[in-house]
Amino acid sequence: MFRLTKYLKPYLLLILITIILLFVQANADLALPDYLGKIINVGIQQGGIENAVPEAIRQSEMAKLLLFISPEEKEVVLNDYTLVDQNSPEYEQAVQDYPTLANEPVYVLNVIDQTEMDKLNPIMAEAFVAVSSITKAVADPAVASAMAAQMGFDLSKLPAGVDIFTVLGKLPADQLAKVNTLISAKTASLNESMLTQAAIPSVKEEYIALGIDTVKLQTQYILHAGMLMLFVTLVSVVCTILVGFFAARTAAGLARDLRRYVF
């Protein structure tokens, strides 16, 4: 068997190319389920919103989130966003993307790398979940009463028209810390992925409030992921064809050479 290897020398380049193509084909085939999962999980279920870090957020909404973010994390968040108002140089472009900017200032996400995005995501996700939980508690007296003992005050007894987040912003630091501890305890059992999914509806609501076309956002994500999936499929098909071609050429050449040398 090993004596035959010397006859393979003229075809070493073809064999090497075939091995590389097989590697590319295998990776392309393994990537396809991942793209399909993104289309279903992110494109359909999450409306094309990949994480809990919004590309823009109203100043009033950011103020609510910051109530549930530690001072150290607050600095991280504010460093990654730029507050845009009518006096900002980027106002004209930004107001086209976020029509609500005409009525109130908006924080716009800076260009950040994936490492910073991964750092920011759990911070924003937990804050969004906290704001959502408080909002639902105010709307449901039963839930508000259940939280009263742990929070130190009953949300259901707030006077009509009083904004709960304005009240929370005026609480002493230790009492606000109790609220944050209570909410953190409820989200502690969620991993980062589940926490992000829980925050996505709030991010989508914020996009709607900013005037962003969320249907267009979802469609663009699905189309982009679908095009990438088609490209990967094309790469896999091309690799399959080339592997067959080079393998057949190598086998035919080797068989021809063996016949010539042996007979």
Report yes or no on 50 lying in a domain: no
Answer yes or no: do 71 and 91 share one domain. Answer: yes
Report yes or no on 104 lying in a domain: yes
Q: Which amino acid is at 167?
A: V
Q: What per-residue confidence (pLDDT) applies to 146?
A: 58
Answer yes or no: do 158 and 188 share one domain. Answer: yes
Report yes or no on 13 lying in a domain: yes
pTM: predicted TM-score of the whole model, two decimal places: 0.80
Answer yes or no: do 19 and 118 share one domain. Answer: no
> Cα dihedral sign for 130, 132, 135, 140?
negative
Residue 109 makes CB contacts below 8 A (sequence gap 6+) with 53, 54, 55, 56, 80, 81
Report yes or no on 51 lying in a domain: no
Q: What per-residue confidence (pLDDT) applies to 13?
A: 87
Answer yes or no: do 39 and 65 share one domain. Answer: no
User: Is the distance from CB of 69 to CB of 77 less than 8 angstroms?
Assistant: yes
Answer yes or no: do 139 and 167 share one domain. Answer: yes
- What is the C-alpha separation between 18 and 56, in angstroms, rounded? 48
Answer yes or no: do 38 and 160 share one domain. Answer: no
Answer yes or no: do 86 and 19 share one domain. Answer: no
What is the chain's pLDDT, residue by residue, as a tens digit (263 residues)? 566 666 677 778 888 999 999 999 999 999 999 999 999 999 999 999 999 999 999 999 999 999 888 888 899 999 999 999 999 999 999 999 999 999 999 999 999 999 999 999 999 999 998 888 888 776 666 655 555 555 555 555 666 666 777 777 777 777 777 777 777 777 777 788 888 888 999 999 999 999 999 999 999 999 999 999 999 999 999 999 999 999 898 888 877 877 777 66
Answer yes or no: do 24 and 145 share one domain. Answer: no
Q: Which amino acid is at 236?
A: S
**Structural domain that includes position 173:** 56-208
Number of domains present in the structure of the chain: 2
DSSP assignment, residue 82? E
